[in-house]
Amino acid sequence: MEKTEKEMDSLEERYEQGQEMRKTLAGTNPSHYSIPGTDQLAPDLRRIIDECLFGKIWTRQGLNLKQKSICTISVLMANGQMALLKRHIERGLTVGLTPNQIVEVFIQLTFYVGIPQVENALLLTREIFEENSVSFEPTLDYDINKSVESLEKEGINKHQEHYQDIDAYLDDNASAIEIEIEQLVNQYHWGAIYTRPHLDAKERSMCSLAALSALGVYDRQVRRRIEGALQLGITPGEILEVFVQVMLYGGYFSTRSAIRVARSVFAEKGLKV
């Protein structure tokens, strides 16, 4: 049973829980127990990180460690935080993500964050795999013999699995350019990427929610992805946990804004958390 406010855990308990979580995430890598620069210049901040981030957030229920790792990797890549991303790629491997799953997170976010960020993340990942002698076989899933029409049809079908109204971005006055962009998105984002193996639909949705939160996207884009997550069977509680998990990686205000959007979606659908 969870403690009430009057029975709130002590700071020392939080610290100890944080140390245990650090051990879980670090595995056999001793470098994960230090924060160069912070340890020497801001030891109080180090303690706050251990208590709040690792003792209270990483230990929360609602998402498993693999899901938390996917969300964290997504945010760090979206924000271009390559130094910390390195640690969390290693931590992802430690908690059970496969090398292919980690690579797939970056492929999944191509249309959200852009090719340069993805290429930087993949270069870093290759270096990590080589340093740690991680065996990896690239997945060749893209059928270059497929017709454009077939690719687009598959993309539209996959798009509809995630969202009821896939034409919501286009109004009656949509320009030719907007229509062409939407076709490319359906063909490649939905037809070529969302149909790939290694991540399931819920994991792909969590990637997107985490990245959009960190990027500060709060318009109908994030609303639709929250609606899509619900359509896939992700619970309101799990959606909120995605935003909580990335709070200290993407920023408190981003998390608060995303949670408010989510709550408005839940209210519209008559859902309680």
pLDDT tens string 159-196 = 999 987 777 666 667 788 988 999 999 999 999 999 99
Report the pLDDT value the prediction gives residue 4, as an integer from 0 to 100.
Answer: 54
The CA distance from 45 to 48, in Å, is 5
Compute the half-sphere exposure of residue 201: CA atoms within 13 Å on the CB side of its CA. Answer: 15
The CA distance from 93 to 32, in Å, is 13
Quick check: helix, strand or coil at residue 142?
A: coil
The CA distance from 221 to 213, in Å, is 11
CA distances to 8, 64, 168, 232, 260 from 179, rounded to whole Å, are: 54, 39, 12, 26, 31
Report the pLDDT value the prediction gives residue 266, as an integer from 0 to 100.
Answer: 98
Report the pLDDT value the prediction gives residue 24, as an integer from 0 to 100.
Answer: 96
User: pLDDT band for position 3 (50/70/90)?
Assistant: low
* Encoded tokens for 63: 């998402």
pLDDT tens string 130-139 = 999 999 999 9
CB-count exposure of residue 73 (10 Å: 0-12, 13-18, 19+): buried
CATH 1.20.1290.10 is right for the domain spanning 60-141+196-268: yes
Say if CB 201 and CB 231 are below 8 A apart.
no
Average pLDDT over residues 193-214: 96
Average pLDDT over residues 220-243: 95
Report the pLDDT value the prediction gives residue 210, as an integer from 0 to 100.
Answer: 96
CA distances to 4, 87, 99, 214 from 125, rounded to whole Å, are: 42, 10, 9, 21
CB-based contacts of 236, cutoff 8 Å, min separation 6: 230, 262, 266, 271, 272, 273
Closest-CA residue to 68 (of 46, 91, 98): 91
Delimit the domains of the chain by residue range: 9-59, 60-141+196-268, 148-190
CA distances to 5, 102, 265 from 213, rounded to whole Å, are: 29, 20, 15
pTM of the model: 0.93
Report the pLDDT value the prediction gives residue 164, as an integer from 0 to 100.
Answer: 77
Quick check: helix, strand or coil at residue 192?
A: helix
Say if CB 62 and CB 101 are below 8 A apart.
no
pLDDT tens string 80-94 = 999 999 999 999 999
Closest-CA residue to 86 (of 136, 29, 40, 137): 29
